[in-house]
């Protein structure tokens, strides 16, 4: 269990470091097998960034619709 916790913390730390880089920022894509904590990690980070964070799940049924990723950015 400690190994999983360490991997989670490492992933969180890397994402937070990258998100702290100066503009132009990068899109961060997090992938992995089911039930490993991807959503938990991203929602934890989104809470930290507040209104600056945009969370979009690629498995959302609307993800295949035109403009899905533009909508959170005000471009949909």
Q: Please give the Cα distance from 9 to 45 (Å, whole number).
A: 12
- Answer whether 14's CB lies under 8 Å from 30's CB: no
Assessment of whether the complete model's pTM goes beyond 0.85: no
What is the reported pLDDT for 8?
85
Q: What is the per-residue pLDDT across 40-64, written as a single tens digit (0 to 9) for each?
A: 998 898 898 888 887 777 777 887 8
Q: The tokens of 75 are what?
A: 């471009």
């Amino acid at each position: 269990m400690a190994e999983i916790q360490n991997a989670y913390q490492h992933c969180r730390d890397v994402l937070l470091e990258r998100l702290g880089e100066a503009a132009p920022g990068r899109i961060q894509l997090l992938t992995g097998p089911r039930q490993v904590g991807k959503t938990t990690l991203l929602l934890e980070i989104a809470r930290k960034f507040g209104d600056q964070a945009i969370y979009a799940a690629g498995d959302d049924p609307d993800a295949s619709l035109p403009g899905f990723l533009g909508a959170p950015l005000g471009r949909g």
